Chain A
Amino acid sequence: MRTRRLTSFFALTGAWLALATCAPPEEGSQLASVTENISATQFRQPRDMPVVTLTNQHGEPFELRAEASGKVTLLYFGYTHCPDVCPITMSSVARALSRLEPEERARVLPVFVTLDPARDSPDRVGEWLGSMDSTFVGLTGTQEEVDDAAEQLGYVLPDQERPDSGWYEVAHPDVLFVFTPELLGRFGYHEGSATPDAIAADLRTLLAHDW
C-alpha cells in the first residue's frame, strides 16, 4: 500500500515537473520576472489609463490614451504651488530620464496633470515643468475634467475651498503611476520612493520587456 502511494506521488510530481518545464511561459511568470527586478510597488489590480482629453502646456488638446499607447507612461497628479513632493517627484523623473539612452527615452511619456487648474494655466504648467525638463507633458483642463482623470484611477477627491487669493490646500494622489504600453497602470511609487536611481533602473527593466 505504501509503495503504491509513493509511486503515485512520484508519478504526479514527475508530471508536474514536466509540465512546468515544457509548458510555454505564461504571462504571469514573464511579468514576475519583471516585478522581481523593479522597486516600484506592483498594484494587485492593474488600473486602466484614464479616458480623458485635456489641454497641454501649448494649449493643444491631448488625448491621453492615444498619446500613451505603446509607451511606458509616468503619470503624476499635483499642482505647481506644491512646496515639495510635486517638484521633488517630477524633478526626480527628469533626472532619471536624463540617464536613459535616447532610444529608451523616446519610448517614455512623462505626464503631469494639475489638480489646481484655477491657478495652473497651460503657460504656468509649461514654465514650471520647463524648469525641470522641457519635454514633459503638462496637462490642465476644467476642475471637473482633471478631477475626473484622478477619479478614474479610484481616488475620491475632497471638495476644497479655493479662494481667489491666499493659501489653500490641494489634495492629490500620493503615487507616481507607471503605465505599461498596453495602457495598464501596473506599478506606482508611493510618496518618498521615487528617487532618480530607482526610476531609471525600473524604466530600463520595463522598456526591455516585450509587452
Chain B
Amino acid sequence: MNGPGVVNGPAAVAGRSMGLLVIACSLVAGACTPEGEGTPPTVTVSDAFALDPLGTDRLGLYATLVNHASTPDTLAAVASPVARDASLHEMTREEGLMRMRPLDAIELPPGSPVHLAPGSLHGMLETLVRRPVAGDSIEVTFELAKASDVTLTVPVRHPADARGP
C-alpha cells in the first residue's frame, strides 16, 4: 500500500556518503552540474522546516519538493551538520493505527510537488549533536539522485505551530 513518492526497500541508510553521490552523478552525465556554474537545479525545495526535538535526540524535517526535469528523480537522503544520522520515513494510517516505516528514497515524479509533511512522508535527523529549539535555524541538505543537492537554512518550529493556530 504505497503512496506516491515512495520507494520500497530495507531501512534507509543514514547519511549517504558524498562519494556515492559523485559516482551517481557521473553516471548521469550533465545532471549534477556543481552549484555556481549557472545551471539551476532541476529540483526545488520550498517551505522547509524542522520540528523542535523537545529534548529528544531526533527531529522531523518537512518541505515541498518539485522535480522540474522531464524524467523522474529521487530524494536519496537528507543531512545536516546538527545530526550524525538521518533517514527517510513514511507514516500511514492502517486500521486506526499510525504506522511508520523507513524508506530507501522518495520518488519525485516530473512536475508533481511531493510534500514532506507531519503524519506523512518525512525526513528524520537522528543522533543530534546539537539540539535546536523553536526559533533557531539549521542547515539541511536534500540529496538528490540526479539533480544537484539543495542546501538550505530552515527554521525550527515548535510542534504546536506545525499545523496552524
Bound together: yes
Q: List A residues at the B interface (Cβ < 8 Å).
A: 80-81, 83-85, 87-88, 90-92, 94-95, 127-128, 131-132, 154-158, 167, 169-175, 191-192, 195-197
Chain B residues engaging chain A, CB cutoff 8 angstroms:
11, 51-52, 54-56, 58-60, 87, 89, 91, 93, 95-102, 118-119, 122, 124, 126, 158-160, 162-165
A171-B160 contact in complex given A83-B89, A131-B55, C-beta closer than 8 Å:
no
Between-chain CB contacts (< 8 Å), 30 pairs: A83-B51, A83-B59, A83-B122, A84-B51, A84-B119, A84-B159, A85-B118, A85-B119, A87-B54, A88-B51, A88-B159, A91-B54, A91-B158, A91-B160, A92-B159, A92-B163, A131-B54, A132-B160, A155-B96, A155-B97, A167-B11, A171-B97, A171-B99, A172-B98, A173-B98, A174-B93, A174-B97, A174-B98, A195-B163, A195-B165
Q: A127-B55, A131-B55 are in contact. Are A169 and B100 (CB under 8 A)?
A: yes
Q: Is the CB of B96 within 8 A of A173?
A: yes
Q: How far is the CB of A7 from chain B (nearest CB, A)?
A: 54
| Contact (A81, B58) CB under 8 Å given A91-B158, A95-B160 | yes
Q: Would you give the shortest CB distance from A156 to chain B, in whole angstroms?
A: 7
Min distance, Cβ B156 to any Cβ of chain A, angstroms:
13
On chain B, the residues within 8 Å of A81 by CB distance are 56, 58
Number of CB contacts from chain A to chain B under 8 A: 92
A interface majority secondary structure: loop
Contact A197 B55 (CB under 8 A): no
| Alpha-carbon separation in the docked complex, A192 to B98 (Å) | 12
Q: Give the CA-CA distance A174 to B93 in the complex, in Å.
A: 7
Chain B contacts for A132, CB-based, 8 A: 54, 159-160
**A192 contacts B96, CB within 8 Å?**
no
Give Cα distance in the complex from A128 to B56, angstroms.
8
In the bound complex, do residue A85 and residue B98 qualify as a contact, i.e. CB atoms below 8 Å apart? yes
Kindly list chain A residues whose C-beta atoms are within 8 Å of the C-beta of B164.
195, 197
